[in-house]
Amino acid sequence: MSKITGKEYPICDIFTYKFEYHIPSYQRPYAWEKEQAETLFDDLLDFYKNQPKDDNYFLGSIVLIKEDDENKPYSDVIDGQQRLTSLTILLSVIASVIEDVKLRTKVEKYLYEDGDELIGLAPQPRLFLRPKERDFFKDFIQDVQIDKLLSLKPDSPVFDTEAKKHIRINCQAFKDRLEQNFVPESDDFKKFVSFILKRCYLISVMTPSQTSAFRVFSVMNSRGLDLLPIDIFKADIIGEIPSGLQNYYTQKWEDMENDLSRQGFNELFVHIRMIYAKEKLREELVTNFKKTVISQISKSEDFIDKVLFPYCKAFNTIRKCDYSSTSDTAKQINEMFKWLNKGFNYDWIPATLKFMLSYGNDSNYLLWFLKKMERLATCLMATGQDVNKRINRYVQILNELENRTNHSLSSPLVSIELTEEEKALFIDVLSKDIYNMTSRYRNYIIQRLDSFVSDGAATYDEKVFTIEHVLPQTVNPDSQWAHLWPDEAKRTFWLHKIANLVPLARRINSAAQNYDFDEKKEKYFTNSRTGTSSYNLTTQVLSIPVWTEEVVEQRQNNLINVFKANWEL
């Protein structure tokens, strides 16, 4: 059986001759986006500024196929390439802003091994990316050519893979964060770099066998029956219950786990922790949950009966969108759950769970709350707020829910309302080039808009849902479009605005995208059998005889007013 070892290393030891990291070609590309890079930097900065100087920051673990021998540094990275790559980028950006040659060289040594012929150590990078990105990464990151990289236009041919684009974007993100928070080579800057190198740790899990490495990776990441935090919680919490009641509570626990699925049940503990702690998780879940939740509840039976069980019921209702009520608002409430569940983060869930526990039976107030929550969640998503800003915003609601016990529909929560600044920023984003959002975000915005102007009968199947430009992205000089829109600057201005976008329930037909307006309406925007569209936004376009700038401008104003009316902006 292959020996598995795990050791804790500070970053200054992670990037030394002890390890030679290789990303196998079968691994997925580097995929961290700007938000993840900014979150990494913000978390490091927050810990550096606010935690005791003798505390260490845990960055997670990496899984390597490697001999447990410092004289055999070759390591295939099975898990952890995103962190290793991002940390390498951060160190390169740090080196790039340092003018002092000696200090810069001290940082650069964590990117590149200079070699030592006396002991047979070859000069080479610390980290070897997949072959497609390897030379790019060496030339710009490990050779510390950050300014040269950032001077290249995003559409430059050099960025021929998504991974290369992510590397450039995250370089810019790290550089911006450094410039916002530090003066290069100042004492504070040096202390921050020292903190990263000496007090930030990774656990390296190593085994010489590929089979064993993949087994470790599977156990650490599986969504199946491998060990999860809930298994540790179960052993600890049930173990504290008197033996005569253990069978009863074990069955109750397992029934909840079956209702939510293992992964959903584990997620519920994350949400409950947030309700109690009201801050981002900065250590592993089990330890923090015991500290912030379990320590506040005297009996394990009370935790299961009064916390876990009611939150499980509320979470199940949210996930299944099956709220029931004697009033006629239940359908509207479940519709709001569907929209919220379409979102692309779940930071809104803890505050919603806490609200439901106290006011879930007041269907009118719950509907009011969910409408406000959907508006807030969409605003934070559309305006690009990172995870830390989102969490801080939702914590305001958790605090009001905890500290203000006399709110009601006649005197509702205040913290869930958008501020005037948030409203202005939201309107500004909605008024700009919606199409340049990520496909998930723009799909949500346009589906939501279509729901506002429809009777609620439309359905949105993500498998076939597409968004198309009325005025096409490419205008043939001989086309009707060139005659109607001769000014290229005006075409560019209106092209990606929401007024020029329509939803379709069909696969993209690349040839049809450039049809003239009449042909586009007849052959592309309508169902061939019914002569209509599935979506009201598109039906509106079918009634317009000519697609001119005046028409688009008026439609833009109308649609922004729809947003303002329905989201109370």
- What are the pLDDT digits (tens) for 287-310? 888 899 999 998 999 999 999 999
Beta partners for residue 79, in sequence order: 63
pLDDT at 530 over 70: no
CA atoms within 13 A on the CB side of 353: 27
Residue 162 near residue 29, CB atoms below 8 Å: yes
Closest CA to 164 of 85, 92, 111: 85
User: Is the whole-model pTM more than 0.85?
Assistant: no
pLDDT at 370 over 60: yes
pLDDT at 224 over 70: no
Residue 435 near residue 469, CB atoms below 8 Å: yes
Contacts within 8 Å (CB) and 24+ apart, 53-57: 55/199, 56/10, 56/199, 56/200, 56/201, 57/195, 57/199, 57/200, 57/201
Average pLDDT over residues 452-477: 81
Between CA 565 and CA 569 the distance in angstroms is 7
Between CA 425 and CA 56 the distance in angstroms is 38
Q: Tell me how far apart the 2 most distant CA atoms of the chain are, in Å.
A: 85
Contacts within 8 Å (CB) and 24+ apart, 537-543: 537/446, 537/449, 537/450, 537/453, 537/502, 537/503, 538/502, 538/503, 538/504, 540/453, 541/470, 541/502
pLDDT at 225 over 80: no
Between CA 314 and CA 329 the distance in angstroms is 17
pLDDT at 6 over 60: yes
For 250, other C-beta atoms within 10 Å of its C-beta total 13
Residue 231 near residue 222, CB atoms below 8 Å: no
Between CA 52 and CA 173 the distance in angstroms is 27
Residue 64 near residue 77, CB atoms below 8 Å: yes
Helices (H), 97-209: 101-108, 131-137, 146-151, 162-181, 187-199
pLDDT at 504 over 90: no
Residue 133 near residue 22, CB atoms below 8 Å: no
What pLDDT sits at residue 428?
A: 96
What pLDDT sits at residue 222?
A: 44
Closest CA to 174 of 96, 246, 281: 96
What pLDDT sits at residue 223?
A: 38
Closest CA to 90 of 46, 40, 134, 133: 40
Predicted confidence band at 152 (pLDDT cuts at 50, 70, 90)? Answer: very high
What pLDDT sits at residue 69?
A: 75
Burial bucket for residue 529 (CB in 10 Å: 0-12, 13-18, 19+) = exposed
What pLDDT sits at residue 92?
A: 97
What pLDDT sits at residue 358?
A: 92
In the block, residue with structure tokens 């902006």: 569
What pLDDT sits at residue 214?
A: 56
3-state secondary structure labels for all residues of 460-506: CCCCCEEEEECCCCCCCCCCHHHHHCCCHHHHHHHHCCHHHEEEEEC
Predicted confidence band at 47 (pLDDT cuts at 50, 70, 90)? Answer: very high
Closest CA to 200 of 403, 381, 37, 41: 41
Contacts of 313 (CB under 8 A, 6+ apart): none
Amino acid, res. 270? V
Closest CA to 137 of 157, 156, 112, 117: 112
Helices (H), 342-386: 349-359, 363-382
Residue 230 near residue 285, CB atoms below 8 Å: no
Between CA 435 and CA 521 the distance in angstroms is 20
Closest CA to 204 of 22, 80, 319, 289: 80
Task: Give the range with max mean pLDDT: 97-106, 208-217, 235-244, 464-473.
Answer: 97-106
Amino acid, res. 484? L
Beta partners for residue 113, in sequence order: 124
Average pLDDT over residues 12-33: 85
Predicted confidence band at 2 (pLDDT cuts at 50, 70, 90)? Answer: low
Pick the range with the lowest mean pLDDT from 190-194, 238-242, 445-449, 561-565: 238-242
Between CA 519 and CA 145 the distance in angstroms is 51
- Enter the DSSP assignment of 278: -
pLDDT in tens, 60-118: 888 888 887 777 889 988 888 899 999 999 999 999 999 999 999 999 999 998 877 77
Pick the range with the lowest mean pLDDT from 90-104, 374-388, 502-516: 502-516
Between CA 213 and CA 63 the distance in angstroms is 7
Q: What value does the mean pLDDT of the chain take?
A: 88
